[in-house]
Structure 1
Amino acid sequence: MEYRKLGTSDLSVSVVTFGAWAAGGWMWGGTERKNAVQAIRASYDLGVTSIDTAPIYGQGESEEIVGEAIKGLPRDKVQLLTKYGMRWDVAKGDFGFKSKDNSGKDIDIYKYAGRESIIKECEDSLRRLGTDYIDLYQIHWPDVTTSIEETMETVAQLIKEGKVRHAGVCNYNVAQMQEAEKYVNLVSNQVPYSMVKRDIEKDVVPYCLEHNKSILAYSPLERGLLTGKMKPGYQFGEGDHRANLYFFQDENLKRTNAFLQKIKPLADEKKASLSQLVIRWTVEQPGITIALVGARNAEQATQNAKALEVKLSPDEISFITEELNKLELVKPEKV
C-alpha cells in the first residue's frame, strides 16, 4: 500500500481508502453486516488503514459496522474519516430528498450543519465508532441555511477540544472552500471523480494544487460502471439508487464497455483487473490524493487494495487518457 499526507497536515492516509457507504446498506439494497466487517478487516490486513464513513449511511449502521471492525486494532494505526451535516432525525436546515431507511421506512433527509447539530453528531459518531477522536471530520454537503462561519467555527472548537484532529469538506466548490478556510485549516475536499465524471479538473483541482489541499475522490469506479461487469440489460435490486442514473442506461453501458475493452489488454499485461487499472489511473491524476473505494465483502476489498500493486508508466497513463477522451456518454437533457 502507498500512503499520502492530507494537505499540510501530519495525517497520512492509505491511497486506497475504504469507502463504507455500501457497507451501511442504505441506497444499495441492504447489506450483510458480517460481510461488511470482514471486508474492512481484509482491507486493513493489506494496508488499507483509512476508512471513510458517515452517520447517514444506514442511519448510523455504517459507523457501527466500522466501530465493530476496528475493535481491538491499534487506534493510532487506523484513520477514521467521517462526516456531519445530513440529518434524518430532525426537520431542520435545507431539505435534501426523500428516502427509505434499511427497513423500508420513509425518511426525509435534511442538509443541516448548525452549531448544536454538529456537536450532537460528533458525540453520536464517537460513540458508534467506539473512539474518542475522529481523524478527519467533513461536512457532507453544503448547507445553505447555515453560515459557513458558524459551521467551521464549531469544527475548530471540536479540534481544540481534541475530539477532531483535522477539518475537511465534501462537495464544496472553490468559493465555499475559500470561505471555510477563513475559520479553520481545511486539509481536504471529498468530491465525486471518475473517468466519466471529471468536472473538477476545471476549477477544484487547480485550486487544491495551488493551495496544497488534498482531493479525496469518491465513486472512482462510478458505482460499478467502470468494473466492466455490467452489461446492457443489467437489473438492479430493490432499493438500489443506481437504477435511475443515466450512467447505467443500456447505451452508456455499451459505450463504457467498448472503452474498457480498449484498455483491457493493458490490464491483462499487468495481471490486473479493469477495476484495479481504473483505480490506479485515478490516483495518478494531478491533485487526486486518494481514492475511496467501497466493498461489501472481503474478496472485493482485497481486489481493491491490490490496485496499488499495479504500476503505470507516464506513457501508459497517457494511452488510457487518450482512449478515455474519445468516450462520450449520452447525458440526460437539461430541463
Structure 2
Amino acid sequence: MEYQQLGDSGLSVSRITFGSWAAGGWMWGGTEQNDAVGAIRASYDLGVTSIDTAPIYGQGLSEEIVGAAIKGLPRDKVQLLTKFGMRWDLPAPQGDFGFKTKDNDGRDLDVYKLATPASIVKECEDSLRRLGTDYLDLYQIHWPDVTTPIDDTMAAVQRLIEQGKVRAAGVSNYSVAQMQEAEQTLKLASNQVPYSMVRRDIEADVMPYCLAHHKAILAYSPLQLGLLTGKIRPGQDFGPGDLRATHRLFTPDNVTRVNAFLDQLRPLAEAKNATLGQLVIRWTLAQPGLTVALVGARNAQQAEQNARAIEVQLTAEDVAFIDGELAQLQLS
C-alpha cells in the first residue's frame, strides 16, 4: 500500500481508502452487516488503514459497522474519516433543506444540511460513540450549509481539535471560494469531492487550487457507482432505493458507450494482470493532486480487489493511452 499525508496536517492515510457509503446500505438497496465488517477487515489486512464514513450513511449504521470492524485493532494504526452537517433526526426543520429520502426500512426522511456549532458538537459525540473511539482523525463538513456562516462552523471544529477530539479538519463538496473562506478560521487538510473518468469538473478549479495550496483531494466514487467496472449492462434493473436507477450516466445509451470505451482498455488491464476496476483506480491515483481514492466494497472479495489496485503499475505511456481513449468518449 502507498500512504500520503493530507496537506500539512501530519495525518497520513492509505491512498486507497475504504469508502463505507455502501456499507451503510442506504441508497444502495440494503447491506449485510457481517459482509461489510469482513470487507473492512480484509482491506485492513492489505494495508487499507483509512476508512471514510458519515452519520447519514444508513442513519448511523455505517459508523456502527466501522466501529465493529475496527474493534480490537490498534487505534493508532487506523485512520477514521467521518463527517458532519447532514441531519435527518431534527425535532423541527432547521438549516438548509437537502433532499427527501428513505431510511433502510423504507420510511420517509427529510435531510437538512446543518452545520451550527451546537449541531456539530452533538454530531461529534454521536460519531465517537458509534465508532467506539475517543477521537476522529479527519472531521469533514459533508455539504455546505448556506444558513450558517462558514467561520462559525470552522470555529466549532477548531475547538474540537483543541479538545483532542479531532486531529485534522477537512471539507467535502466545497468550492474554491468556500475553501478560502474556511481557511480564514482554521487550516484545512483536504477536500473530498466526486471525481472519476466520466466526472472531471474539479479539474477546472478545485484541483489546481488544492495543488497550489497543498490541500489533499479525496476522490469519492472513482468507479462512478460501479459504472467503470465494466459489469453494468444497458437497461440493468437496480433494486428499490438504488440511486443508479435514475442516474443520468446509467441510461442504456451511456452504459453502452462507457462499456465500449472500457473494451478498449481491456487488453491493457489484462497485460497488467488487473481488472478494469483496478486499472481505473490506478489511473485515478495518477492524476495530479489526487491524494486518495475512496472505494467501497460489499464483501471481502471486492475489498481485496480494490486494495490490490495499488499493485498495478502504470507508465506515462499507459496513462497517455487511457487519456486518448477517454477523450473520444462522448456521453449524453
Q: What interval of TM-score do these two structures reach, taking the shorter chain for normalisation?
A: over 0.9
For residue 233 of structure 1, report the CA deviation from its aligned partner.
1.7
Q: Deviations over 1:179-209 (max 9, x none)?
A: 0001111000000000000000000011000
Show the counterpart of 2:22: 22
What's the counterpart of residue 284 of structure 1? 286
The match for 1:69 is: 69
After TM superposition, the structure 1 = structure 2 runs for residues 137-148 of structure 1, keeping only pairs within 5 Å, are 137-148=139-150
Mapped pair 1:52 → 2:52: yes
3-state SS in 1 of match to 2:207: helix
Partner of residue 116 from structure 1, selected from 115, 118, 124: 118
Q: Which residue of 1 aligns with 2:129?
A: 127
- The counterpart of 2:315, out of the listed 289, 299, 313, is 313
Residue 250 of structure 2, aligned match among 243, 248, 251: 248
Instruction: Report what 2:154 is aligned to.
Output: 152
Partner SS, residue 233 of structure 2 = coil
Which residue of structure 2 lines up, in the alignment, with residue 32 of structure 1? Answer: 32
- Structure 1 equivalent of residue 196 of structure 2: 194
CA drift at 1:10:
1.2
Name stretches of at least 5 consecutive residues in structure 1 with no aligned partner. Answer: 331-335
The 5 Å alignment of 1:139-288 reads 139-288=141-290
- Residue identity in the other structure for 2:73: L
Instruction: Give, in whole Å, the separation in 1 of the partners of 2:236 and 2:321.
Output: 29
Task: Give distance in 2, aligned partners of 1:153 and 1:253.
Answer: 44
TM-score by length of 2: 0.99
* Aligned counterparts of 1:25 and 1:312: Cα–Cα separation in 2: 33
Comparing 138-147 with 6-15, greater Cα deviation is found at 6-15
Counterparts of 1:67 and 1:233 in 2: how far apart (Å)? 37
Instruction: Count residues with an aligned counterpart.
Output: 330
The amino acid across from 1:11 in the alignment is: L
Residue identity matched to 1:130: G
- The answer for the alignment partner of 1:78 in structure 2 is 78
Alignment partners' CA distance in 2, 1:301 and 1:219: 15
**1:100-159 per-position Cα deviation (integer Å, ceiling 9, x unaligned):** 000111110000000100000000000000000000000000000000010000000000
CA–CA separation in structure 2 for the residues paired with 1:328 and 1:114 = 42
1:285 Cα shift?
0.1
User: Counterpart in 2 of 1:298?
Assistant: 300
Identity rate, percent: 70
* Matches of 1:272 and 1:258, distance apart in 2: 18
CA shift digits 1:210-236 (9 cap, x unpaired)? 000000000000000000001112110
Task: Show structure 2 runs of 5+ residues with no match.
Answer: none
Q: Distance in 1 between matches of 2:324 and 2:156?
A: 45
2:103 maps to 101
1:251 to partner: Cα distance: 0.3
Deviations 1:77-99 (A, max 9, x none): 00000000000011210001110
| 3-state SS, counterpart of residue 279 of structure 1 | helix
Whole-angstrom CA distance in 1 between matches of 2:108 and 2:234: 31
CA distance in 2 between partners of 1:147 and 1:251 (Å): 42
Name the SS of the counterpart of 1:153 in structure 2: helix
Q: TM-score, normalised by structure 1?
A: 0.98
Q: Which whole-Å CA distance do the structure 2 matches of 1:122 and 1:107 have between them?
A: 21
Alpha-carbon distance in structure 2 between the residues aligned to 1:87 and 1:9: 27
Q: How far apart, in 1, do the equivalents of 2:128 and 2:224 lie?
A: 30
Structure 1 counterpart of 2:232, one-letter code: M
TM-fit CA distance, 1:9: 1.7
RMSD over equivalenced CA pairs, Å: 0.4
SS of the aligned residue for 1:138 comes to: strand
SS of equivalent to 2:254: helix
* Runs of 4+ deviating beyond 4 Å: none
Query: Which letter maps to 1:225?
Result: L
Structure 1: how far apart are the matches of 2:34 and 2:220? 24
Distance 2:264 2:7 in 1: 35
SS, match of residue 80 in structure 2:
strand
